[in-house]
Structure 1
Amino acid sequence: MKTIAKLLCGVALASLAIAPASAKDLNKVGISVGLLGNPFFVATIKGIEDAAKKINPKVEVTSVSADYDLNKQVSQVDSFIAAGVDVIMLNAVDAKAIAPAVKKAQAAGIVVAAFDVSAPGADVTVMTNNVKAGEEACKYL
């Protein structure tokens, strides 16, 4: 699972690095996840940090937990905007309701990447196929 999480986030950041919307330098990355205590998100954050440091070794990566609270996540996105991040990596706690926050970040010139859960309007979305993952896992039981 850790390898998959790191790979997905590496792919997401790599795609952002070559996207026209992110042609500026990568100096700050904000990450908002459902719950920091979740091992999947721990591995995902590590993957994002590793991929970001390959792009810019001095990049500042800030990760926060939304604790599965939409209002808290919207506030986190607002804080990332105020901090001037270049990219927001977002595990949306509510795939539809986060859309206005995504638009607000993009209006501020920030690239938004959704992972594990879609976010309408995100510049890039990276998700796993949980049904296929379950099928593959069952082969090893």
Structure 2
Amino acid sequence: MAIDSGGGRCVSADITAGVSPAAALFHSLADETRLRIVQRLARGEARVVDLTGELGLAQSTVSKHLACLRDCGLIDYRPEGRQSFYSLTRPELIDLMASAEQLLAATGHAVALCPIHGPEALGPQEGMVS
């Protein structure tokens, strides 16, 4: 259930409306903040405080996106005392991220220049991750 940054609705509504699960998966990863969180968690588990410090984001922002990724089944957490340690649930996600990086390298990051999907078309908050 990824949050649609444009309308605030969850991707689960899109699936109900006939959007494929694959499109919903990529939509959930299309948000730069969620993508940065996934990239960080690919290196190992982290607490909210770790993510806020490393990514330079507010606690409420990180928590919102962690909840979204958790609802999508892409991450989970383990409690330890009063802390929660977040991690990826599926190692295939690391493979997907590595494949995406290889594809971007092979295309010379042409998608960033695309008039339909590039940063200018998406707006300032949904642009590509460098």
TM-score by length of 2: 0.28
| Greater per-residue strand proportion | 1
TM-score by length of 1: 0.26
- Highest relative contact order (Cα 8 Å, sep 6+), 1 or 2? 1
